[in-house]
Chain A
Amino acid sequence: MSKYNMHILVCGGTSCHSSESDAIVCNLRDELEAKGLTDKVQVILTGCFGFCEKGPIVKIMPDNTYYVQVKPEDAQAIIEEHIIKGRKVTRLLFKDPETKEPIADSKQTGLFKKQLRIVLRNCGFINPENIDEYIARDGYMALGKAISEMTPQDVIKIIKDSGQRGRGGAGFPTGLKWEIASKNKSDEKYVVCNADEGDPGAFMDRSVLEGDPHSVLEAMAICGYSIGASKGLIYIRAEYPLAIQRLKVALQQAREYGLLGNNILGTGFSFDISLRYGAGAFVCGEETALIHSMEGLRGEPTIKPPFPAEAGFRGKPTNVNNVETFAAIPVIILKGAEWYSSIGTAKSKGTKVFALAGKINNVGLIEVPMGTTLREVIFEIGGGIRKGKKFKAVQTGGPSGGCLTEKHLDLPIDFDNLVSAGSMMGSGGMIVMDEDDCMVSVAKFYLEFTVEESCGKCSPCRIGNKRLHELLNHITDGKGTMGDIDRLRNMSNVIKDTALCGLGQTSPNPVLSTIDNFMDEYVAHVRDKKCPAGKCKNLMEYFIVAENCVGCTACARVCPVNAISGQRKEVHQINPAVCIKCGACMEKCKFDAIIIR
């Protein structure tokens, strides 16, 4: 069918692009033309291969040869040697970092593939609205195996041995949670799926529910079997209409097949699931608040103990797990605890889904084994920082987490390492910031969010966060004092120690971690009244450089408040008292005469 029998793929990701992959494509095409091969071999510019460190990457198909760090002048060698004579250009092959041996076929190494998809195994692969496609991928096999061939204790043992920890943020061991719930005696118990994904920048739970809803339903039934529950509830925010619709379709199909309902697979085990909608309050991701919301009460947390495993929904033992936690369960049951615990680090097993966002080239949803470094995630899979700017920090764990900087880049990501570095896993949002981001404003942004989302039940969170936000506002307005920084730190620690629930206990983290890592920026705002990133409007002044100004009057004409004065062909001035710092003049000026200082 194809008239071409060979394809040369050249990485056109931003990072390879900046190292002249365009020129490589041109040279390859020229070379092919010179040799009269244009109708046999096609050269294609592709998206990012995810191996940016060794870019530009050139891949030859169909033999899967990877060439790394290719230069435009290598085009000739690739065509003459590889394409015409069929000999690999050894000097351009990737060399195994340990043995120094060149590796030709990437499929044998796995080196190029940092991602391992367990939770996302079916996302983007099956039709989420067709249960048959899920079954063909071993769907409901784990449930069948659990309820037909295993005791509830066996199931709990597998989950415990696998070392899986809850993906909702805190990282509590899943198996232990199930065990506690199973040991509490009651006439009715509940399995709850926490699909109240609220971290700004995190969307993995939505993607799983939209792409593979049955995996969550199956896992909830497995959990129900192991703890002795017959009812499941999914607490999902109403602003996820597509996820809700796909869940409804999935529930109906599972019931029609008898995979949910009474006497599942003739084992006598009955389990069914219903949906509960949340109104999108961040605090309802906290399990006690979530349960109250499902009961029709205000979404406010209560003091633990009692834990939901003792007295949860309607006072009955309740096991609450996050979507991502559930989605991995069927695979663990089928492949075994040993397989799962072989992936990851000593104390954090398996894989983690991250939502990459911010100033990063390949914004997306990725899944990597625990222990992958931030550098691999940001610079290889993520393709590096947008527009070739300098990496400054990455915020993990959303409003509950902290900023990690350059010095943390080689830190293997797992629950404990992130906490000891002053951040946390959270639900897995990663927001990347570059040199243009002001860290005081970043802290302020997250505080704004927590002030808005605080339920108001306890004073440390309700009043404390508000005060923190005010102090940060002071600083970004240029009214801060050095004492304010100490006050921020003290108050943050008090809030952490005294707030009622996880929201308040973690909300000062962005403040503390930015103070720890970017003290110089706070000092610049307070002492020098300057914002190094040029983000805080009240701390900057637009200024016309006399040498560059030709007096074209373009700036004066575009200024919306008439703050710029000056005669034609004479140097203009900006009146700082009138200027509203909109930046319109700077954009208009063709002579780089307007600067921020």
Chain B
Amino acid sequence: MSQIKSLTDLKKKREEIKAGLDVRIKAVDSGNHVQVKVAMATCGIAAGAKSIMEFFVEQFDRRNIPGIVTQTGCMGYCYAEPTVEVKLPGSDPVVFGYVDLKRADQIIEKYIKEGELIDGIIPVNYDTIDSKG
């Protein structure tokens, strides 16, 4: 990684990364790429998020699903750990709670492949600073 030498550089870097992300998002939106985020704070991991993450990585590979699986921090839905957010091309992200291996399989087979929602999704119930302006 190269050093960032000034505020202008930092802004340039941000635009570069954003452009990169845009490409990724566009790729996701135009192709069949799926983005999966697994909440991996201590509590999520304690609830079994690690094996869920491994499952998604492994199964995407095995079932030939083009997509990106990443970790993220705590989503705040402690009562429903492990939680997983899935973004399908062209649609809003959906959060699934109580994800065990069986449910992870359902997410892949039903939601990712067929676009069918499955019971137990968690509605987004907060605003972020971006939407508040």
Binding site for B on A (CB under 8 A): 1-4, 7, 9, 11-12, 42, 44-50, 59, 110, 112-118, 120-129, 132-133, 135-136, 138, 140-141, 144-145, 148-149, 203, 206-208, 210-212, 240, 242-243, 253, 256-259, 265-267, 331, 335, 361-367, 381
Contact A135 B73 (CB under 8 A): no
A251 nearest CB across to chain B (Å): 14
Other-chain contact of A42, B1, B10, B41, B117 (Cβ < 8 Å): B117
Q: Nearest CB to that of B70 among chain A residues?
A: A127
Cα distance A135–B1 when bound, in Å? 14
Given contacts A3-B115, A141-B14, A210-B42, contact A257 B125 (CB under 8 A): no
Other-chain contact of A45, B70, B120, B125 (Cβ < 8 Å): B120
Given contacts A136-B21, A258-B4, contact A335 B74 (CB under 8 A): no
Residue among B10, B75, B80, B132 with max Cβ neighbours from chain A (10 Å): B10
Q: Nearest CB to that of A364 among chain B residues?
A: B78
Cα distance A127–B35 when bound, in Å? 12
Given contacts A206-B41, A265-B10, contact A121 B129 (CB under 8 A): yes
B28 nearest CB across to chain A (Å): 13
Q: Nearest CB to that of A257 among chain B residues?
A: B4
Q: Is B128 an interface residue (CB 8 A)?
A: yes
Contact B126 A115 (CB under 8 A): yes
Contact A266 B6 (CB under 8 A): yes
Given contacts A117-B127, A365-B78, A367-B126, contact A210 B73 (CB under 8 A): yes
In the complex, the 8 A-B pairs of residues with the closest C-beta atoms, listed nearest first: A211-B73, A2-B115, A124-B75, A115-B126, A258-B3, A50-B125, A47-B122, A144-B7
Q: Is B109 an interface residue (CB 8 A)?
A: no
Q: Nearest CB to that of A212 among chain B residues?
A: B73
Contact A331 B14 (CB under 8 A): no
Total interface residues in chain B, CB < 8 Å: 53
Contact A148 B7 (CB under 8 A): yes
Interface of chain B: mostly helix, strand, loop or mixed: mixed
Cα distance A7–B121 when bound, in Å? 12
Q: Is B45 an interface residue (CB 8 A)?
A: yes
B36 nearest CB across to chain A (Å): 12
Q: Is B27 an interface residue (CB 8 A)?
A: no
Contact B73 A1 (CB under 8 A): no
Given contacts A115-B127, A124-B73, A124-B76, contact A2 B114 (CB under 8 A): yes
| B18-51 at interface with A (beta carbon < 8 Å) | 18, 20-21, 37, 39, 41-43, 45
Given contacts A242-B42, A364-B77, contact A256 B1 (CB under 8 A): yes
Other-chain contact of A49, B7, B10, B85, B123 (Cβ < 8 Å): B123
Question: Which chain A residues border B1 with CB–CB below 8 Å?
Answer: 253, 256-257
Cα distance A128–B9 when bound, in Å? 22
Question: Which chain A residues border B117 with CB–CB below 8 Å?
Answer: 7, 9, 42, 44
- Write 26 A-B pairs (CB below 8 A) sorted by A numbering: A2-B114, A12-B120, A42-B117, A47-B122, A49-B123, A115-B127, A116-B128, A120-B76, A123-B73, A123-B75, A124-B72, A124-B76, A124-B83, A124-B85, A125-B72, A132-B20, A135-B14, A141-B11, A149-B7, A207-B41, A211-B74, A242-B42, A258-B3, A265-B4, A331-B129, A364-B79
Cα distance A420–B127 when bound, in Å? 30
A266 nearest CB across to chain B (Å): 5
Contact A127 B72 (CB under 8 A): yes
Q: Is B67 an interface residue (CB 8 A)?
A: no
Cα distance A148–B129 when bound, in Å? 24
Contact B76 A265 (CB under 8 A): no
Contact A113 B126 (CB under 8 A): yes
Cα distance A366–B119 when bound, in Å? 23
Given contacts A45-B119, A206-B42, contact A257 B97 (CB under 8 A): no
Cα distance A88–B98 when bound, in Å? 33
Other-chain contact of B119, A44, A124, A126, A128 (Cβ < 8 Å): A44
Other-chain contact of B79, A44, A117, A118, A361 (Cβ < 8 Å): A361
Contact B10 A135 (CB under 8 A): yes
Q: Nearest CB to that of A127 among chain B residues?
A: B70
Contact A144 B10 (CB under 8 A): yes
Given contacts A2-B114, A123-B74, contact A145 B88 (CB under 8 A): no
Question: Which chain B residues border A3 with CB–CB below 8 Å?
Answer: 114-116
Cα distance A259–B5 when bound, in Å? 9
B38 nearest CB across to chain A (Å): 10
B102 nearest CB across to chain A (Å): 17
Cα distance A116–B37 when bound, in Å? 21
A350 nearest CB across to chain B (Å): 11
B7 nearest CB across to chain A (Å): 4
Question: Which chain A residues border B72 with CB–CB below 8 Å?
Answer: 123-128, 211
Given contacts A47-B122, A123-B75, contact A258 B5 (CB under 8 A): yes
Question: Which chain A residues border B45 with CB–CB below 8 Å?
Answer: 242
Question: Which chain A residues border B118 with CB–CB below 8 Å?
Answer: 44
Cα distance A115–B126 when bound, in Å? 4
Question: Which chain B residues border A141 with CB–CB below 8 Å?
Answer: 10-11, 14
B42 nearest CB across to chain A (Å): 5
Given contacts A44-B119, A210-B41, A265-B10, contact A257 B73 (CB under 8 A): no
Contact A259 B116 (CB under 8 A): no
Other-chain contact of B123, A47, A124, A256, A258 (Cβ < 8 Å): A47
Q: Is B59 an interface residue (CB 8 A)?
A: no
Question: Which chain A residues border B115 with CB–CB below 8 Å?
Answer: 1-4
A52 nearest CB across to chain B (Å): 11
